[in-house]
């Protein structure tokens, strides 16, 4: 039976973190807190572990998970290049609720699903998650829920949906917002990939106005502006 570790209790937290590291190392799936919602995570560099994560959620390979990192310094190792505008986004919003899609580093031998050569990366703003990521390296992490159901905002809610399909649960209390991260696609900022614009794939914790403050005209026009010009 999967254990819930109450990370408000130092002894349970230490035991839970140790067992979480061990679970990730052997290719198992765990539930961990982030700053947006609870996530279900696995070793990003283990294709079998990533497939197990997808199976737990009931997702296909057409819905690849994003990758969480413990430090912005990890980004250049995972992507083909970090354009200046993307670095500005990282400086402004990491750690935090912004997921950035870029072409993945060609030298990496990983399999996150049907990514079409891209990877979605985020640094979460949660001390427990950051400590775990510093020890495990990048984790493939998707929201802790069954596909089609609302993302869990606490460990109990995650367990209600996922049960014993994961190795363990790290309980860091309810997340403060429960708002998923904003996802932007910055692939076209790399040379030879069309008009250099950052597209918003999902609006979440970071608003379009916040993005535009950093990106200016590199952010795609707002939908209502598109409508006005049609």
In a domain, 224, yes or no: no
**Inter-residue contact 43 to 136 (CB < 8 Å):** yes
Residue 203 DSSP one-character state: -
In a domain, 51, yes or no: yes
In a domain, 140, yes or no: yes
Predicted confidence (pLDDT) at residue 70 exceeds the cutoff of 60: yes
On the CB side of 22, CA atoms within 13 Å amount to 8
Dihedral sign for Cα atoms in the order 93, 212, 140, 40: positive
Contacts of 78 (CB under 8 A, 6+ apart): 67, 69, 104, 105, 108, 119, 121, 138
Tell me the C-alpha distance between 141 and 40, whole Å.
5
Please spell the DSSP secondary structure of 181-194, one letter per residue: PEEEE-GGGSTTSS
Angstrom CA distances, 47 to 55, 142, 168, 187, stand at 12, 15, 20, 24
Q: Say how many Å lie between the first and final Cα of the chain, rounded.
A: 57
In a domain, 227, yes or no: no
In a domain, 157, yes or no: yes
In a domain, 59, yes or no: yes
What SS3 string covers 184-227? Answer: EECHHHCCCCCCCCEEEEECCCCCHHHHHHHHHHHECCCHHHHH
Beta bridge partners of 170: 5
3-state helix, strand, coil in the chain (%, to 5): 35, 20, 45
In a domain, 225, yes or no: no
Predicted local confidence at residue 1, as pLDDT: 81
**pTM score, whole prediction:** 0.92
Q: How many domains does the chain have?
A: 1
By residue range, what is the domain housing residue 67? 3-218
Residue 159 tokens read as 């367990």
- CATH number of the domain at 160, please: 3.90.870.10
**Inter-residue contact 120 to 44 (CB < 8 Å):** no
The model's pLDDT over 160-205, given as tens digits with 9 standing for 90+, comes to 999 999 999 999 999 877 788 999 999 999 988 888 999 999 999 9
The model's pLDDT over 93-130, given as tens digits with 9 standing for 90+, comes to 999 999 999 999 988 888 898 888 999 999 999 999 99
The model's pLDDT over 37-67, given as tens digits with 9 standing for 90+, comes to 999 999 999 999 999 999 999 888 988 999 9
Angstrom CA distances, 180 to 124, 185, 206, 212, 226, stand at 11, 16, 9, 19, 25
In a domain, 229, yes or no: no
């Amino acid at each position: 039976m999967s254990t819930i570790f109450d990370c408000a209790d130092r002894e349970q937290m230490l035991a839970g973190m140790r067992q979480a590291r061990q679970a990730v190392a052997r290719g198992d799936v765990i539930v961990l807190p982030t700053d947006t919602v609870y996530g279900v995570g696995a070793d990003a560099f283990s294709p079998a572990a990533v497939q197990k994560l997808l199976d737990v959620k009931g997702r296909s390979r057409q819905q690849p998970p994003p990758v969480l990192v413990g430090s912005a310094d990890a980004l250049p190792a995972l992507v083909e290049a970090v354009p200046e505008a993307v670095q500005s986004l990282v400086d402004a919003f990491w750690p935090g609720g912004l997921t950035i899609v870029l072409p993945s580093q060609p030298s990496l031998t990983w399999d996150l699903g049907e990514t079409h050569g891209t990877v979605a990366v985020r640094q979460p703003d949660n001390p427990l998650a950051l400590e775990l990521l510093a020890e495990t390296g990048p984790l493939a992490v998707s929201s802790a829920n069954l596909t089609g159901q609302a993302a869990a905002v606490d460990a109990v809610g995650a367990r209600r949906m996922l049960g014993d399909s994961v190795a363990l649960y790290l309980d860091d209390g309810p997340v403060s917002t429960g708002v998923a991260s904003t996802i932007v696609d910055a692939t076209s900022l790399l040379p030879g990939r069309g008009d250099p614009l950052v597209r918003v794939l999902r609006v979440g914790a970071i608003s379009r106005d916040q993005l535009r403050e950093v990106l200016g005209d590199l952010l795609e026009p707002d939908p209502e502006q598109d409508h006005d010009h049609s």
